[in-house]
Amino acid sequence: MTKPFVAVQMRGISKSFGGVKALDNVDFEVFVGEVHALLGGNGAGKSTILKVLNGIHKPETGTIQVGDQYLTESHPKEARDAGVAMNFQEMSLIPTLSVAQNIFLTREAVSKLNLINDKEAVRQAKALFDTLQVDVDPNAMVGDLGAGQKQLTEIAKAISQNAKVLVLDEPSTALAVSDVERLFVFLRKLKEKGTAIIYVSHRMDEIIQIADRATILRDGKHVISAPISKLPIDKMIEHIVGKRSNGLADVTFSKASKGDLLLELQDVCGRYRPQKVDLKVHEGEIVGLAGLLGSGRSSLARIISGITPAQSGKIKIRGKSVNFRRPGDANAAKVALVPESRSTQGIIADHSVQSNVTMASLKQLTRYGFEIKQKSQSIVDAQIKRLSIKTASRDHAVVTLSGGNQQKVVIGKWLATMPDILVLDEPTAGIDIGSKSEIVALIRNLAREGKAIIMISSELSELLTACDRIVVMEGGRIFSDNPREYYNESSNPNDDPGRQLQAAEKHLQTEIQLAVKAQTRLESTNG
Amino acid sequence: MAESRTSKSHLFRVLIGDWRQNIIYIGFIVLFLIFAVTLSDKGFLNPNNLLNIIRQTAMIAVMAIAMTFVLSAGEIDLSVGSVAGLATVTVAMAIAIAGPIAGVFAGLATGLVVGMFNGWLTTRVGIPSFLTTLAMMGIAKGAAMWISDTAAVPILNQSYAWIFGGGSIGRIPVLLFWVLILGAIGHFALRRTGFGRRVLATGGGETAARYSGIDTARIKFRVLVLSSTAAALAGMLYAGRLQSGRFQLGEGDELSVIAAAVLGGTSLFGGKGTVIGTVVGAMMIGMINNGLILMGLEYSQQLIARGGIIILAVALSQKR
């Protein structure tokens, strides 16, 4: 092979935010025609270096070269003119504009009179989605779309720029498996045409599939850049977490004793989803909900926690029928939901750890309308200690914490209400592996205390590590409900835990695919 | 299968979903018919009365067209009424000293200067436009009172008065042409130009717009300049129609202007705006005022009825 041509060269980049070094003398190099994975835990500096490359942040030191052009102005337009395109985890979409208008924002097709031609934009957007082989309506308002469709729009926007350097920051978090595969097929085509692709993901299996080389950052420093063939998953994880912690496979699986029946659903239906769900959860039991995006997992969670009332069916808690009309009803019945979107549904970022943790239990913490300071302080301190939340003090704003610790604040907020039933929707989304295994261990501890837990996660390894039972959903229905052991491979009991987990993951993956097939068949017979 | 699903939902949107979007047009027609029937003996349908409605609401419409851009960009301009008042005075004084052309320049310059100041304070100093323009409301009014010594300044130049609001071609008032031309320009600028799209993007999601390479500060600066300039033009129309400059002209108009835009379907939270809706909204407010007067309601009752109708219309247009 001839010497590969360099598409991006960043040298000696340093950047601080309020005294904290986010990047410390980092070198980053991407070749033409390769998929380069950028890896690291939360706060490792991945987002920061990408924003520097994109001209959103101005580095204190260092040089940025794209192709043979030096970027000096630190302006998004300069980076784009040099051929850099990036998706920003839903941050570059305008909810009040249509899909097509968003994709071609600032690059609109114009007619002879220099007026914007939206029909042409719709046509081009359609063509783009056709090449990607995904189904998104170019006329739909972005604000009305679900997370997966938004993500596809975001990716289409980046791709439509025909960039020399395409940056995809966690492009697959909300995508169905089949869409991810189509995206990979497309990325391989782009790569052959000579596009340099920078790919950020927390999903190692994806990285192995698509990347040629990887660069790993940790705590704002460059750790290693190497071909992916020289970085097996355990090596990668080792570099990412440093000496802090091991992967999920090492979370000890201590079986909690199953107690009385706590939550029972009979024939529960939502407006669209879920459909006729029967589910029983006992004290000390963790039930995982697996399935693709749109399978009805989150809708079910919202019904159980009273955010959207059920349309029909029965919900019983300790044998007593309940009728939740609003979240407060569920909280009074000791049900708590740790919601899917941390930033919009979980925390108030600018408020202190204390005010976030006490937000859901203010009734117990006030007398005659005044907050009982000592009581709320001791409750907050107890949660900080119990969850080992890393914060300078309880008075620091939540925005100053890392993603994993922000998530712990949300969990702490709901634990402070002393729930019996805890529903966790994607509790580890977007946080690093170290914090992930910590949160999984925490969830197991909560079950041991006798709480009934329902956990939703798109990371199968996580469900398999945490749960006693795994329910597979598709199309709003429950496809199967099996104990965790069902997914064990009995033939090889002597394998190391990592291998066993991988085997179980494959098994569960297959089960989900079976559910999809069954649902498709069901839909086609129903017309 | 997916194809049929999207087209079905599209049809659904057009038939059912859009009635809330089009409530302003439906409301306008319904109200017009109600007034036409109940007030027919009081001369509501008399051409002179209808043309009067246009004369009375043209200035509101001109300011509201620009306000549509300001609101769409997620900002607000409370100073438009006072700026219009200030412009009537500067125009009248400039005409008295140096003639009608100087008057036009003085009027537009008033708008540009105020707008640039508003824009500078909002985008560079970082004061929210709500506060910037609230303060400017008082400053502009004070300036108008000061330089005119609180007295009316007469305009004796007839050609100025004819072009800017006083004249009519046949029976059609010149003011109608101002509204139609500015409305058409505004409509195309918002819907079909890069500037308009950037305005909508800035108001719809500022961070996303910035990440897409849009200079949102510059967009905000421009809409505020546009708004003050349109307010100054409205002031020039007031001055021409009434053949004088007075600081009280335009007083309190900011509320009617914002109401016209919101009635027309422009979002107070940014990202959504329609100039045609705004113009119809302004006409609707004028029609309500006119109808209530013809009904013989007292001023106090008019205020209550007008407020009620506006709340009803906006409530019906809310998405649920």
Percentage of chain A beyond pLDDT 90 is 43
Whether residue B100 is predicted with pLDDT greater than 90 in this model: the reply is yes
Alpha-carbon gap: B191 to the closest alpha carbon of chain A (Å): 8
Could you state, in order of their start, the residue ranges of all structural domains in chain A? 6-248, 259-334+420-527, 343-418
Read out DSSP for B198-244?
Answer: HHHHHHH-HHHHHHTT--HHHHHHHHHHHHHHHHHHHHHHHHHHHTE
Alpha-carbon gap: A123 to the closest alpha carbon of chain B (Å): 15
Q: What is the third-level CATH fold of A6-248?
A: Rossmann fold (3.40.50)
Which secondary-structure segment (H or E) carries A381?
Answer: helix A373-386
Question: Does residue B15 lie in a domain region?
Answer: no
* Total domain count, chain B: 1
β-strand pairing of A366-367 with A61-66: unpaired
Is B201 in Cβ contact with A94 (below 8 Å)?
Answer: yes
Alpha-carbon gap: A111 to the closest alpha carbon of chain B (Å): 10
B203 close to A (CB below 8 A): yes
Whether residue B9 is predicted with pLDDT greater than 80 in this model: the reply is no
Mean pLDDT computed over A26-38: 94
Nearest to A50 by CA among A64, A70, A68, A33: A64
**Three-state SS at A15:** strand
Find chain A residues with C-beta within 8 A of B211's C-beta: 56, 76, 88, 91-92
Alpha-carbon gap: A93 to the closest alpha carbon of chain B (Å): 5
Is A101 in Cβ contact with B197 (below 8 Å)?
Answer: yes
In sequence order, what E strands does A283-420 have?
286-290, 312-317, 320-322, 335-338, 366-367, 370-371
Mean pLDDT computed over A31-52: 86
> Which residue range is the domain that position B297 belongs to?
43-317
Nearest to A316 by CA among A261, A260, A274: A261
Tokens for B19, please give them: 């009635």
Integer CA distances (angstroms), B82 to A237, B89, B116, B203, in order: 64, 11, 16, 25
Torsion sign across C-alpha atoms B204, B205, B206, B208: negative
Find chain B residues with C-beta within 8 A of A116's C-beta: 191-194, 196-197
Q: What distance separates the 2 farthest-apart alpha carbons in chain B?
A: 74
Find chain A residues with C-beta within 8 A of B198's C-beta: 106
Residue A94 is nearest to which of B10, B205, B267, comparing CB atoms? B205
State which residue of chain A sits closest to B192, comparing Cα positions. Answer: A116
The class of domain A259-334+420-527 in CATH terms is alpha beta
Integer CA distances (angstroms), A205 to A44, A208, B105, in order: 20, 5, 68
Whether residue B166 is predicted with pLDDT greater than 80 in this model: the reply is yes
Is B271 in Cβ contact with A106 (below 8 Å)?
Answer: no
Residue B197 is nearest to which of A76, A80, A116, comparing CB atoms? A116
Highest mean pLDDT: which range of A236-250, A476-490, B270-284:
B270-284
Tokens for A493, please give them: 């009991």
Highest mean pLDDT: which range of B28-37, B108-117, B289-298, B301-310:
B108-117
Q: How many CB pairs under 8 A join A and B?
A: 73
Whether residue A243 is predicted with pLDDT greater than 80 in this model: the reply is no
Residue with the larger pLDDT of the pair A423 and A294:
A423
Mean pLDDT computed over A12-22: 81
Whether residue B11 is predicted with pLDDT greater than 70 in this model: the reply is no
Query: How many Å apart are CA B222 and CA B225, to the nearest integer?
Result: 5
Nearest to A259 by CA among A452, A440, A421: A452
Which residues 204-263 of chain B have a CB within 8 Å of chain A? 204-205, 207-214
Integer CA distances (angstroms), A27 to A162, A216, B300, in order: 26, 11, 72
* pLDDT attached to residue A171: 85
* pLDDT attached to residue A99: 95
Query: How many Å apart are CA B33 and CA B44, to the nearest integer?
Result: 11
On the 0-12 / 13-18 / 19+ scale of CB atoms within 10 A, A34 is buried
Alpha-carbon gap: A110 to the closest alpha carbon of chain B (Å): 8
Residue B213 is nearest to which of A76, A93, A115, comparing CB atoms? A76
State which residue of chain A sits closest to B212, comparing Cα positions. Answer: A92
Integer CA distances (angstroms), A377 to A232, A380, A405, B185, in order: 46, 5, 18, 60
B211, B216, B219, B269: best to mutate for the A interface, most A CBs within 10 A: B211
Which residues 170-189 of chain B have a CB within 8 Å of chain A? 188
CATH no. for residue B244? 1.10.3470
Nearest to A430 by CA among A202, A151, A244, A242: A202
Domains A6-248 and A259-334+420-527 share a fold: yes
State which residue of chain A sits closest to B198, comparing Cα positions. Answer: A106
What mean pLDDT value characterizes chain A? 86
State which residue of chain A sits closest to B188, comparing Cα positions. Answer: A115
Q: pLDDT tens, A135-180?
A: 899 999 998 887 788 888 988 998 898 889 999 988 877 777 778 8
Q: pLDDT tens, A281-327?
A: 999 999 999 987 678 899 999 999 999 999 999 999 999 999 999 89
Query: How many Å apart are CA A308 and CA A133, to the nearest integer?
Result: 33
Percentage of chain A beyond pLDDT 70 is 91
Tokens 């200079």 identify what position? Answer: B215
On the 0-12 / 13-18 / 19+ scale of CB atoms within 10 A, B48 is exposed
Tokens for B302, please give them: 């008019």
Whether residue A1 is predicted with pLDDT greater than 50 in this model: the reply is no
Find chain A residues with C-beta within 8 A of B207's C-beta: 91
pLDDT-based confidence at residue A341 (cuts at 50, 70, 90):
confident
Question: Does residue B37 lie in a domain region?
Answer: no
Mean pLDDT computed over B16-33: 79
Whether residue A268 is predicted with pLDDT greater than 90 in this model: the reply is yes
Whether residue A403 is predicted with pLDDT greater than 90 in this model: the reply is no
Whether residue B5 is predicted with pLDDT greater than 60 in this model: the reply is no
Tokens for A23, please give them: 């990047």
CA dihedral defined by A45, A48, A53, A54, rounded to 10 degrees?
150
Nearest to B91 by CA among B272, B278, B266, B241: B241
- Per-position b or e across A452-476, b if 16+ CB within 10 A of its CB: bbbbbbbbbbbbbbbbbbbbbbbbb
Read out DSSP for A471-523?
Answer: EEEETTEEEEEEEGGGGS-TT-TTS-HHHHHHHHHHHHHHHHHHHHHHHHHHH
Of the given ranges (A153-167, A394-408, A481-495), which has the lowest mean pLDDT? Answer: A481-495
Highest mean pLDDT: which range of A264-278, A482-496, B115-129:
B115-129
Whether residue A2 is predicted with pLDDT greater than 50 in this model: the reply is no
B193 close to A (CB below 8 A): yes
Nearest to B92 by CA among B224, B238, B254: B238
Find chain A residues with C-beta within 8 A of B187's C-beta: none
B46 close to A (CB below 8 A): no
Residue with the larger pLDDT of the pair B92 and A88:
B92
Which residues 55-84 of chain A have a CB within 8 Å of chain B? 56, 76-77, 80
Residue B208 is nearest to which of A77, A92, A137, comparing CB atoms? A92
Q: pLDDT tens, B121-138?
A: 999 999 999 999 999 999
* pLDDT attached to residue A36: 96
Nearest to B24 by CA among B186, B264, B236, B289: B264
**Three-state SS at A334:** coil
Read out DSSP for chain B?
Answer: -HHHHHHHHHHHIIIIIHHHHTHHHHHHHHHHHHHHHHTGGGTTTSHHHHHHHHHHHHHHHHHHHHHHHHHHTT-----HHHHHHHHHHHHHHHHHHH-HHHHHHHHHHHHHHHHHHHHHIIIII---HHHHHHHHHHHHHHHHHHHHTTS-EE---HHHHIIIII-EETTEEHHHHHHHHHHHHHHHHHHHSHHHHHHHHHHH-HHHHHHTT--HHHHHHHHHHHHHHHHHHHHHHHHHHHTEE-TTTTTTHHHHHHHHHHHTT--TTSS---HHHHHHHHHHHHHHHHHHHHTT--HHHHHHHHHHHHHHHHHHH---
Residue B211 is nearest to which of A76, A116, A135, comparing CB atoms? A76
B267 close to A (CB below 8 A): yes
Whether residue A255 is predicted with pLDDT greater than 60 in this model: the reply is yes
Find chain A residues with C-beta within 8 A of B267's C-beta: 96
* pLDDT attached to residue A252: 59
Is B2 in Cβ contact with A106 (below 8 Å)?
Answer: no
Question: Does residue B252 lie in a domain region?
Answer: yes
Is B10 in Cβ contact with A137 (below 8 Å)?
Answer: yes
Which own/partner contact pairs does A373-382 have at CB distance under 8 Å and 24+ positions apart? A379/A416, A380/A353, A380/A354, A380/A412, A380/A416
> Which strands make up the sheet holding A84-87, listed edge to edge?
A84-87, A165-169, A196-200, A35-39, A213-218, A221-227
Mean pLDDT computed over B171-175: 93
Is A114 in Cβ contact with B272 (below 8 Å)?
Answer: no
pTM equals 0.75
Find chain B residues with C-beta within 8 A of A93's C-beta: 205, 208
Q: What is the DSSP letter of A461?
A: H
Find chain B residues with C-beta within 8 A of A108's C-beta: 194, 197
Mean pLDDT computed over B285-299: 91
Question: Does residue B30 lie in a domain region?
Answer: no
A114 close to B (CB below 8 A): yes
**What's the full length of chain A, in residues?**
527
Question: Does residue B38 lie in a domain region?
Answer: no
Q: What is the DSSP letter of A346?
A: I
Alpha-carbon gap: B64 to the closest alpha carbon of chain A (Å): 21
Tokens for A187, please give them: 């990325």
pLDDT-based confidence at residue B4 (cuts at 50, 70, 90):
very low
* pLDDT attached to residue A289: 95
* pLDDT attached to residue A109: 85
Is B271 in Cβ contact with A95 (below 8 Å)?
Answer: yes
Query: How many Å apart are CA A175 and CA A147, to the nearest integer?
Result: 8
State which residue of chain B sits closest to A91, comparing Cα positions. Answer: B208
Alpha-carbon gap: B14 to the closest alpha carbon of chain A (Å): 12
**Three-state SS at A391:** coil
Cβ neighbours of residue B76 closer than 8 Å, sequence gap 6 or more: B70, B129, B130, B133, B258, B268
* pLDDT attached to residue A482: 93
